[in-house]
Chains A and B, each alone.
Chain A
Amino acid sequence: QVQLVQSGAEVKKPGASVKISCKASGYTFTTYYLHWMRQAPGQSLEWVGWINPANGGTKYSQKFQGRVTTTRDTSASTAYMELTSLRSEDTAVYYCARGPVTGAFDIWGQGTMVTVSS
């Protein structure tokens, strides 16, 4: 079946970086954009950015510009999101989700909890 499986929980110190993976299966990896969202504890969802797996093109929310990088490995059907200069406010569950640039997100990963704490 179509699914996105993310890497496990991370605990990081302020100022560190985190890299999360999102492995796609059940469909052709290059035919759908992958978006990244985050959800801080008790909060709503916030869009971080997307990657086009077909050509590696990316777009990021202005809020994260300069701190986030999304990449992909087409041979492994896996996308990655790296967030640098972590601060406590980055503590959240990070999700990848499949969707077109102009469309809703129909398949979501299970989420990766990132905790930033000294």
Chain B
Amino acid sequence: DIVMTQSPDSLAVSLGERATINCKSSQSVLCSSNNKNYLAWYQQKPGQPPKLLIYWASIRESGVPDRFSGSGSGTDFTLTISSLQAEDVALYYCQQYYCARPGYTFGQGTKLEI
């Protein structure tokens, strides 16, 4: 299985400042058949299910504020929140999904606080 490792485990950022969360996969999630990175980012608030923020590593889901952006390719990815808002306090997970090899694995999560 592909192992996803996030860093840091927790992060405290001031309101209005930039937050950066990293995700590294044990194998490349760039699919040669279509040149897409099979990588998503989710936000989870306490007592709620995860919410999809970013897919294909950099495509923002409909309705997600544009302060959220994703970047990276191959094995190294980043979720950036350009200007932290109070409502962004949450756990964030990266996930790789099925390209050529069956499996969907999540990172261990990053706790984002003010």
With CB as the reference atom, state the residue of chain B lying closest to A59. Answer: B102
A45–B51 CB distance below 8 A: no
1/0 contact trace for B92-114 toward A, CB 8 Å? 01010111001111111100000
| A44 on interface, CB distance cutoff 8 Å | yes
Interface size range of chain A in the complex: 20 to 34
The interface of chain A, by Cβ under 8 A from chain B, is 35, 44-47, 59, 61, 95, 97, 99, 101-106, 108-111
Choose from B49, B52, B102, B103 the contact partner of A111 (Cβ within 8 Å): B49
B97–A103 CB distance below 8 A: yes
B48 to chain A, nearest CB (A): 8
| B40 on interface, CB distance cutoff 8 Å | yes
A102–B55 CB distance below 8 A: no
A45–B106 CB distance below 8 A: yes
- Chain A interface, >50% SS class: loop
A106–B102 CB distance below 8 A: no
User: Chain A residues with Cβ under 8 A from B40's Cβ?
Assistant: 104-105
B42 to chain A, nearest CB (A): 8
Determine the distance from Cα of A44 to Cα of B51 in the docked complex, in whole angstroms: 14
User: Chain B residues with Cβ under 8 A from A99's Cβ?
Assistant: 97
| B38 on interface, CB distance cutoff 8 Å | yes
| B50 on interface, CB distance cutoff 8 Å | yes
B105–A95 CB distance below 8 A: no
User: Chain A residues with Cβ under 8 A from B104's Cβ?
Assistant: 35, 47
A102–B98 CB distance below 8 A: yes
A108–B50 CB distance below 8 A: yes
| B76 on interface, CB distance cutoff 8 Å | no
18 residue pairs of the A-B complex, CB under 8 angstroms, read A44-B106, A45-B95, A46-B106, A47-B103, A47-B105, A59-B102, A95-B50, A97-B49, A99-B97, A102-B99, A104-B40, A104-B52, A104-B95, A105-B52, A106-B61, A108-B51, A110-B48, A110-B49
